[in-house]
Structure 1
Amino acid sequence: MELEVSDIVEAVSELVKRGYDREYRIKNGRLRDLATGTPIAASDIHVDAALRFESGSDAGDGSNVYAISDRATPGKGLLIDAFDTLDRHCSRELFERLAAGRQTKRVAQPDVPSRYDLRKIYKSEFERDPERFVLRIDFPDFPPCPFGQSFSVLGFDTAEQQYVWLVTSILRDSRLARVPYQEADTPDNA
């Protein structure tokens, strides 16, 4: 499927109009339908469209969107890899199926100060104080996702106490601490 879009938000909007209304995520290395919680076998997916959007002069920050049909069900949905990290989170078979034939579009946004209303952190700022930034996973207080879906991870500036957009090269840096959400124990007042 050919799409004439200029950015990932426009791509998601166009794909939703074309009936891709389910939200897919990678959980434990497998593709899952978030509405049903069921895993989808890599052999059951058909990638109808795959787009990669790169910004910055060095293409160090990228996002991907995949329009997927589930051959085992009538479901069609989107997998959004806003942080360009799927290769680290899914099986090789699934990643190869997703990335095959992916189109790359360069977005003219070199050195923008923010992305999706979040302050953008470049590698140079991270290098000055790597312990200042963490990657929060599945926190309930994430800001709204501009794609109409939901974030599963976001950068967090511990000094400013605010969510930030970390460029891809930071997400791949082994010094970045990953902090999964853990619900606080609440006392039983009954």
Structure 2
Amino acid sequence: MTTATNIIDTTKEFLDRGYSHDFRNDGGTLHDVTVDRQIDLQDIHVDAAYRFELSPDSTDASNFYAITDRKHGTKGLLIDAFDLLEATGETPLSSLLSKTQEQRRDDDAEAPTRFGLRKVAKAEFGADPDRYVLRIGFPDFPACPFGESYSMLGFDTAEQTYVWLATKILRDDRLVRVPFQCAEIPDND
């Protein structure tokens, strides 16, 4: 059990507790990026799962999972900062993860910034959707507070700065996705 009230502090707490591997959702399966290995679902133990809601209507949230790979004895984190895991549809992995998830209100939720970036709400995007794009795989992304690196970030073309886009914007068909060179473009779903 953690006493942390936001995803950054929770991540730091679990890193200090030895959760050193970086896990990713790979098409509905769990991949250990640290050692480049697929993890069988029967070997997964979800030690902690939190959903940090950023707004009262929970339309913007981040998900945090502390996971043990029982077969290999490794512990790591799966961080769904964009709340996109459910967008992949119902998979055995998403079912397993959602069973143990505790919901919390992020103590930074009222701030107009998210992870040090200006936060753009759905209404602001809707007023001028051509102003914002989703950059994918760009080398000039700012530092990620989780000690990793961002794979995609919003970009305000008027101010020429990176921004944090609310989750609903990521699912909006009007959002233009701009890959850096040959980066893969994630679906809107």
* Normalised TM-score (structure 2): 0.88
Could you report, residue by residue, the CA deviation over 1:77-105 in whole angstroms, capped at 9, with x for unpaired residues? 00111111111247611111111120001
Task: Give matches, 1:31-180, under 5 Å.
Answer: 31-89=30-88, 92-180=91-179
Superposition deviation, residue 137 in structure 1: 2.1
- Pair member with larger Rg: 1
- Superposed displacement of residue 5, structure 1: 1.3
Cα deviation 1:53-80 (Å, max 9, x = unaligned): 1122332221111001112212110011
Counterpart contact for 1:61–1:167, Cα < 8 Å: yes
State the distance in 2 between where 1:75 and 1:81 align.
19
TM-score of the two chains, using structure 1 as the length reference? 0.87
Corresponding letter in the other structure for 2:17: R
Residues 31 and 136 (structure 1), Cα distance of their counterparts in 2 relative to 1, 3 Å cut:
farther
Identify which range, 89-98 or 166-175, moves more after superposition. 89-98
Q: Residues 33, 110 of structure 1: CA spacing in aligned structure 2 closer, same or farther, 3 A cutoff?
A: closer
54-63 vs 111-120, which moves further:
54-63
> Does the 8 Å CA contact 2:28/2:92 hold for their aligned counterparts?
no
Count of paired positions: 183
Question: For 1:141, what is the secondary structure of its paired residue?
Answer: coil
The answer to whether the 8 Å contact 1:51/1:65 transfers is yes
- Deviation track 1:2-48 (CA, whole Å, cap 9, x = no partner) reads 21111111111111111100111223443211222222222321111
> Helix, strand or coil for the counterpart of 1:125?
helix
* Percent of aligned pairs with the same amino acid: 50
CA RMSD across the alignment: 1.9
Unmatched 5+ stretches in structure 2: 184-189
Gaps of 5+ in 1: 185-190
Q: Distance in 2 between matches of 1:142 and 1:67?
A: 25
